[in-house]
């Protein structure tokens, strides 16, 4: 197997209780779509990158149905702010803040995310 | 029984006008206080005689019924079917019916209609001779035609042409014999008749004009032919007389009521008989105060209202009516209005005639330039605006009104040019002013609302187009800016985006957004509305524009709705369902066993769907590839239950097994399903094929449905089950296999090209300008000259179809996406849990206190 040269091995990390928790390589994500990740305490997060390559993470549970599915929603942007639309009943959530755009009273958890070049151990 | 104090009204005849009279009584509250007795000769309640012929295109007698459910009971009307009035005693004020029952009346209303005139030729009563007036007549003709090959219609007027169309539809070689030198002598002039003749002959009918029928030739009492006045004969198995109608006034004559010289019960302007103030006559049996007997339904309705008003003491008169008509005969538009034959002194004609395409248009212009009337054959588009202009000077030169587009400027004058008093709907006498008021004062914003509010457009339907234009114009005038854009990202409609993608061969959503999106949306991430829409457009056009036909290729993967992205339907708990394709519903025992084994091994809930296939529920996302590997291995393909694409083509068992079947419906269903599988479209597409008219496959509730006939296939389009069911419309009849497939190819591609996002064919057909007629023009008659292209698009689709699931399980990179967690690919999602129910599984109820759900536009499957 050849190693694709454009693979930069940039790692995506999430802040959980003041620790940066590595989730996956950035290249595992398609712009505009998400993946789900499991946190050490069993919580689920939905991780996305938008078209510019900026990453975001929010809780994976859809508060309207209880199902853990937000990672499978479609990403869009409104007024320049990226959101994910739940695949079940289509409510939209701001990816940066977790605020529901279709119901003022609902907010889901939003996580801080960063990218970093993976240390050799992870390569 | 009637007491002395209860007034009794007896109505004789429950036809179209009779029913309207009953409704008028009910609206005026008369039914609450008076006893109403109705004597009807026919075995069924009033039905839509105007639409009689539609029985042959699949409308049932029940569909034609004009009496709203429960109307008769609710108003306590005593309706006696199959019991005609036989005698009237005006001194005793009683009516006696055939059953022998006698009813006393205070007011008697005669609405006995007309009977078809049968010329007194030898042989006219032979077996195989019919008239064309009632549902019973049609049933008898249909039955007799089964053993006939040729039919002849005596009379080339309006009804004769309808009858001829029906015979042709029944598969007979059809002749029309007309005594006058042209067809439709009453409505059209010589030029119009010539245009009509050409078109009708072009359809394969044989027309004999200027000759009379001398004798019906018979053998053993049954028809074998007709001898004509020019010495020729026509061989025929069946004869339909349609040589005009005569008022049914015998009952009136017998009791001494005055009748006209040429028939018709003589009435005054209040529709009261001139002989007896307690007796009224309305509809086709009446000779109106202006000396005319009206053979159209609209004047009859006005007479019904007039009689009802008079009975309730209101003042109203019927002094005559407009004889304007717009008809579609044998698929040809024919309209005449006002002084069509130019009888006014000093009037002049403006004529455009193109016998090549069967178009003839004549306007009669008065001395001062006012429009007096006209005749339109072949293209009656302008009827809706021209008729209301009658009596006024048109805003543009009359020449421009008849010239075809491109040959002299503005052909169409919009309805905005009409004065408020102009009558838009002549069936219900609704003026432009009333329609405008419906929008401005009653806040109607759609055509259906305006129809409900004003009744306009609910009769013959010929005014609906103008109605639509008026409603839009009025809405726009009142400042309602309708942003027709797809979403916040695109100002274009789906149809416009389709054209952009097709002509500029754009294969990337981002390119489309950045170059054609709304200014503020460019460079952004789009939204959940336009992404799948554009994804679907690119998929529909993929082979033609050079995009990858695989919906998960490259950027396309990011555009798909969640279901398309995982090639399965997400359920309420985040698990998925799996629906393999079972073309036509036909499946071998071996394949059934595989489905059973897969479902058992993965513990899936299994259900037979409403679409003749099998759905397995409860798979986790990480199980989908394993399940599909086994299904693909056994020869199954994706059923696209998740996509806006072809779902199922249902079939009935058909000719192979069924005693009634006339074609192999299963084979055709399989062929169609395999041809259109995978075709991405604005909304899902469903189809069905039935082996005979019994319609066990419910084809008339499908986007495109096929029903076998003895001669081939009938194609229906625009049907829908679901939330707003709609019966499909007949698009074309008696097609060969190849003709059928060609028409469906064109129909589907035209729909994909012009429909809005999430617009099923049913709503599309109702919305699109010109409706079914326009669609038929485009796909059957190639009126836009795009059929070659539509067929080529479909050929591209068929040639490039690949099974998405087979492709996915063979692609490791794609398979990597089918995991519950990116950082724990092996771990199943612990939140997807099930509990037992009826020996299978169901999702465990969610434990968290759920939020109140407000369903959004575009939720669920949208
Ligand atoms: C499984 C099935 C019900 C069943 O248990 O029988 C079903 C299930 C669903 N239907 Fe249906 N429909 C099913 C037959 C029907 C039928 C009957 C038929 O096809 O003969 C109809 C009415 C006919 C019609 O469509 O005209 C039907 C009218 C709808 C509608 C309303 C469509 C409309 O135009 O009004 C929706 C909602 C939509 O598409 O927007 C819908 C949507 C759905 C969705 C996709 C809703 C969703 O997104 O979760 C359901 C998911 C199926 C799944 O997860 O696999 N389903 N649905 C049937 C699958 C048939 C198949 O083999 O593919
Ligand atoms: C095929 C066809 C197409 C047509 N197309 C059009 C069109 O496009 N536009 C248009 O305006 N008009 C059209 N017409 C004409 C239209 O149908 C008539 O104008 C309308 O039906 C007249 O209504 P009516 O109630 O007066 O008569 P009918 O509808 O004929 O009703 C009269 C009823 O009275 C019954 N009756 C008669 N005698 C007695 C008795 N002694 N006792 C009890 N009952 C009795 C009859 O059986 C019948 O049911 C068409 C007619 C036909 C046949
Ligand atoms: S539609 Fe006709 S051919 Fe098909 S099963 Fe029903 S009765 Fe038989
Ligand atoms: S003119 Fe017939 S419905 Fe309006």
Task: Kindly report, residue by residue over A42-81, the tens digit of the pLDDT.
Answer: 899 999 999 888 999 999 999 988 999 999 999 999 888 9
Between A97-111, B38-52, B300-314, B378-392, the lowest mean confidence (pLDDT) is in: B378-392
H or E element at residue B477:
helix B464-477
| Of B487, B629, B652, B642, the residue nearest B578 (C-alpha) | B642
CA of B298, nearest ligand number? 2
Place B413 in a pLDDT band, splitting at 50, 70 and 90. low
Q: Is the CB of B658 under 6 A from ligand 3?
A: yes
**pLDDT tens for each residue of B455-466:** 888 766 667 778
pLDDT at residue B848, rounded to an integer: 53
Residues 6+ apart with CB under 8 A from B813: none
Q: What is the 3-state secondary structure (H, E, C) of B550-610?
A: CCCCCCHHHHCCHHHHHCCEECCCCCEEECECCHHHCCCHHHHHHHHHHHHHHCCEEEECC
Q: How high is the pLDDT of residue B818? A: 92
Query: Cβ(B615) to ligand 1 under 6 A?
Result: yes
For B571-620, the pLDDT digits (tens) are: 989 999 999 999 999 999 999 999 999 999 999 999 999 999 999 999 99
Residues of CATH 3.50.50.60 domain(s) within chain B?
A: 7-115+247-311, 129-243
Residues in chain B: 862
Q: How far apart are CA B437 and CA B769, in angstroms?
A: 23
Poorest-confidence range of B572-581, B594-603, B627-636, B813-822?
Answer: B813-822
Instruction: Give the per-residue pLDDT at B143.
Output: 94
The A-side interface with B (CB below 8 A) comprises: 22-24, 28, 30-33, 35-38, 42, 44, 47, 50-51, 61, 63-69, 72-80, 82, 85, 87-92, 102-103, 106
B691 lines ligand 3 (CB under 6 A): yes
Q: How many CB atoms lie within 10 A of CB A52?
A: 10
Interface residue of A85, A100, A111 to substitute, partner B, most B CBs within 10 Å: A85
Of chain B, the end-to-end C-alpha distance in Å amounts to: 59
B426 lines ligand 4 (CB under 6 A): yes
> What is the fold, at CATH topology level, of the domain defined by B566-638+804-862?
Sulfite Reductase Hemoprotein; domain 2 (3.90.480)
In the DSSP assignment, the letter for residue A100 is: B
Which ligand does the CA of B700 lie closest to? 1
Which has more pLDDT, B457 or B654?
A: B654
CATH architecture of B414-480: Orthogonal Bundle (1.10)
Residue B559: its chain A contacts at CB < 8 A?
Answer: 32
Q: What stretch(es) of chain B map to CATH 3.90.480?
A: 566-638+804-862
Q: Tell me: pLDDT of B858 over 60.
A: no
**Option in B527, B816, B850 nearest A64 (CB):** B850
pLDDT at A63: 92
Mean pLDDT along residues B448-454: 82
* pLDDT, mean of residues B725-754: 95
pLDDT in tens, B332-379: 788 888 888 888 888 888 888 877 777 888 899 988 888 898 888 888
User: Are β-strands A74-78 and A81-85 bridged in parallel, bridged antiparallel, or unpaired?
Assistant: antiparallel
Pick the CATH number of B129-243 from 3.40.50.720, 3.40.50.620, 3.30.930.10, 3.50.50.60: 3.50.50.60
User: CB–CB of B613/B580 below 8 Å?
Assistant: yes
Lowest-confidence region among A6-15, A80-89, B67-76, B436-445: A6-15
Q: What is the pLDDT, as a whole number, of residue B690? A: 97
Between B556-570, B682-696, B843-857, the lowest mean confidence (pLDDT) is in B843-857
Q: Is the distance from the beta carbon of residue B17 to the nearest atom of ligand 2 less than 6 Å?
A: yes
Looking at residue B854, its pLDDT comes to 45
CATH superfamily of B322-413: FAD/NAD-linked reductase, C-terminal dimerisation domain (3.30.390.30)
pLDDT, tens digit, for every residue of B758-775?
Answer: 899 999 998 888 889 999
pLDDT value for B857: 39
Specify whether domain B7-115+247-311 bears CATH 3.50.50.60.
yes
B173-189: average pLDDT: 88
What does the pLDDT average to over B704-723? 93
Report the interhelical angle of B737-754 vs B787-800 (nearest 10°): 100
CA-CA-CA-CA dihedral for B824, B825, B827, B828, to nearest 10? 130
Model confidence at B1, in pLDDT bands (50, 70, 90)? very low
Q: How confident is the model at residue A119 (pLDDT cuts 50, 70, 90)?
A: low
Position B405 scores a pLDDT of 58
**Mean pLDDT in chain B?**
89
Query: CATH 1.10.10.1100 occupies which residues in chain B?
Result: 414-480
Whole-number Å distance between alpha carbons of B428 and B442: 19
Dihedral sign from CA coordinates of B590, B594, B595, B599? positive
Secondary-structure breakdown of chain B: helix, strand, coil percentages, each rounded to the nearest 5: 35, 20, 45
Q: What is the pLDDT of residue B226?
A: 95
pTM beyond cutoff 0.80: no
Taking residues B148-168, report their average pLDDT: 91
| Angstroms from A63 CA to nearest CA on chain B | 7
Q: Over 90: is that where the pLDDT of B328 sits?
A: no
Q: Is the ipTM of this complex over 0.85?
A: no
Mean pLDDT across B157-181: 90
Which residues of chain B does CATH 3.30.390.30 include? 322-413
Give me the architecture of the B643-802 domain, per CATH.
Answer: 2-Layer Sandwich (3.30)
Secondary structure class of B484 (helix, strand, coil): coil
Structure tokens at B292: 């005319």
Report the nearest-CA residue for atom 2 of ligand 4. Answer: B460
Highest mean pLDDT among B109-118, B200-209, B452-461: B109-118
Count the Cβ atoms, other than its own, within 10 Å of residue B762. Answer: 24
pLDDT at position B378: 83
Beta strands at B102-104 and B150-154: parallel, antiparallel or unpaired? unpaired
Q: Residue A105 — very low, low, confident or very high, per pLDDT cuts 50/70/90?
A: confident
Write down the pLDDT at residue B4.
52
DSSP-derived letter for residue B268 is -
Which pLDDT does position B118 carry in this prediction?
A: 93
Rg of chain B over all Cα atoms, to the nearest angstrom: 31
């Amino acid at each position: 197997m050849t190693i694709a040269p454009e693979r930069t091995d940039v790692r995506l990390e999430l802040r959980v209780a003041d620790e940066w928790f590595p989730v996956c390589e950035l290249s595992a994500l398609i712009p505009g779509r998400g993946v789900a990740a499991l946190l050490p305490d069993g919580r689920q997060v939905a991780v996305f990158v938008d078209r510019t390559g900026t990453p975001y993470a929010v809780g994976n549970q859809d508060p309207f149905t209880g199902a853990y599915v937000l990672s499978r929603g479609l990403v869009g942007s409104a007024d320049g702010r990226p959101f994910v639309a739940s695949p079940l009943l289509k409510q939209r959530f701001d990816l940066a803040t977790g605020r529901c755009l279709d119901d003022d009273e609902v907010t889901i958890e939003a996580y801080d995310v960063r990218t970093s070049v993976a240390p050799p151990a992870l390569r | 029984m009637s007491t002395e104090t209860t007034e009794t009204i007896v109505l004789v005849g429950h036809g179209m006008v009779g029913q309207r009279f009953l409704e008028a009584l009910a609206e005026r509250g008369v039914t609450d206080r008076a006893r109403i007795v109705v004597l009807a000769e026919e075995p069924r309640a009033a039905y839509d005689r105007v639409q009689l012929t539609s029985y042959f295109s699949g409308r049932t007698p029940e569909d034609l019924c004009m009496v709203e459910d429960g109307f008769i009971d609710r108003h306590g009307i005593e309706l006696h079917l199959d019991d005609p009035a036989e005698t009237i005693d005006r001194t005793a004020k009683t009516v006696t019916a055939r059953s022998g029952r006698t009813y006393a009346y205070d007011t008697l209303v005669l609405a006995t209609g007309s009977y078809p005139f049968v010329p007194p030729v030898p042989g006219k009563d032979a077996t195989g001779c019919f008239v064309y007036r009632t549902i019973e007549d049609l049933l008898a003709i249909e039955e007799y035609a089964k053993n006939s090959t040729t039919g002849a219609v005596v009379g080339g007027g309006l009804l004769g042409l309808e009858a001829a169309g029906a015979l042709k539809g029944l598969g007979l070689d059809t002749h029309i014999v007309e005594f006058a030198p042209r067809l439709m002598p009453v409505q059209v002039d010589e030029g119009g008749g010539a245009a009509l003749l050409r078109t009708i002959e072009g359809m394969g009918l044989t027309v004999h004009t200027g000759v009379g029928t001398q004798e019906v030739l018979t053998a053993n009492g049954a028809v074998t032919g007709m001898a004509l006045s020019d010495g020729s004969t026509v061989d025929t198995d069946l004869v339909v007389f349609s040589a005009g109608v005569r008022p049914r006034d015998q009952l009136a004559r017998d009791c001494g009521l005055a009748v006209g010289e040429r028939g018709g019960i003589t009435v005054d302007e209040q529709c009261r008989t001139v002989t007896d103030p307690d007796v009224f006559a309305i509809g086709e049996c009446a000779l109106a105060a202006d000396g005319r007997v009206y053979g159209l339904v609209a004047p009859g309705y006005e007479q019904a209202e007039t009689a009802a008003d008079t009975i309730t003491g209101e003042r109203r008169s019927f002094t005559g009516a407009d004889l304007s008509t717009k008809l579609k005969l044998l698929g040809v538009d024919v309209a005449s209005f006002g002084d069509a034959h130019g009888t006014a002194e000093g009037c002049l004609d403006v004529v455009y005639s193109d016998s090549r395409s069967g178009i003839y248009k004549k306007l009669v212009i008065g001395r001062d330039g006012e429009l007096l009337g006209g005749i339109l054959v072949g293209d009656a588009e302008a009827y809706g605006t021209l008729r209301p202009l009658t009596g006024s000077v048109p805003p543009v030169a009359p020449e421009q009104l008849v010239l075809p587009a491109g040959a002299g400027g503005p052909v169409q004058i919009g309805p905005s040019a009409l004065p408020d008093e102009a009558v838009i709907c002549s069936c219900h006498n609704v003026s432009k002013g009333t329609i405008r008021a419906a929008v401005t004062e009653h806040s109607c914003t759609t055509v259906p609302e305006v129809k409900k509010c004003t009744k306009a457009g609910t009769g013959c339907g010929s005014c609906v187009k103008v109605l639509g234009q008026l409603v839009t114009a009025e809405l726009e005038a009142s400042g309602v800016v309708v942003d027709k854009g797809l979403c916040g990202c695109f100002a274009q409609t789906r149809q416009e985006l389709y054209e952009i993608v097709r002509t500029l061969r754009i294969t990337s959503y981002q390119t489309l957004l950045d170059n054609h999106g709304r200014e503020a949306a460019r460079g952004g991430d789009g939204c959940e509305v336009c992404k799948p829409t554009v994804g679907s457009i690119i998929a529909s056009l993929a082979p033609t524009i050079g995009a990858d036909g695989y919906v998960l290729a490259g950027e396309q993967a990011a555009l798909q709705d969640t279901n398309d992205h995982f090639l399965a339907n997400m359920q309420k708990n985040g698990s998925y369902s799996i629906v393999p394709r079972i073309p036509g519903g036909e499946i071998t025992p071996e394949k059934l066993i595989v489905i059973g084994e897969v479902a058992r091994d993965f513990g899936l809930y299994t259900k037979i769907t409403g679409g003749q296939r099998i759905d397995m529920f409860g798979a986790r996302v990480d199980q989908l590839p394993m399940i599909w590997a086994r299904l693909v291995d056994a020869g199954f393909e994706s059923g696209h239950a998740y996509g806006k694409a072809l779902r199922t083509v249902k079939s009935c068992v058909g000719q192979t097994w069924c005693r009634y079947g006339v074609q192999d419906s299963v084979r055709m269903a399989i062929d169609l399903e395999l041809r259109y599988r995978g075709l991405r479209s604005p909304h899902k597409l469903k189809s069905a094929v039935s082996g005979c008219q019994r319609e066990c496959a419910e084809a008339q509730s499908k986007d495109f449905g096929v029903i076998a006939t003895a001669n081939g296939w009938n194609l229906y389009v625009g049907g829908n089950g679901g939330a707003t069911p709609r019966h499909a419309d007949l698009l074309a009849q008696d097609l060969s296999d190849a003709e059928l497939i060609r028409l469906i190819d064109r129909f589907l591609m035209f729909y994909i090209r012009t429909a809005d996002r999430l617009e099923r064919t049913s709503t599309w057909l109702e919305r699109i300008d010109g409706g079914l007629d326009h669609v038929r023009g485009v796909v059957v008659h190639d009126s836009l000259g795009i059929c070659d292209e539509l067929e080529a698009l479909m050929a591209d689709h068929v040639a490039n179809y690949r099974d998405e699931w087979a492709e996915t399980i063979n692609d490791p990179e794609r398979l990597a996406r089918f995991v519950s967690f990116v950082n724990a690919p092996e771990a199943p999602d612990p939140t997807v849990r099930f509990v037992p129910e009826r020996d299978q599984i169901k999702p465990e109820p969610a434990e968290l206190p759920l939020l109140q759900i407000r369903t959004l536009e575009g939720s669920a499957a949208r």
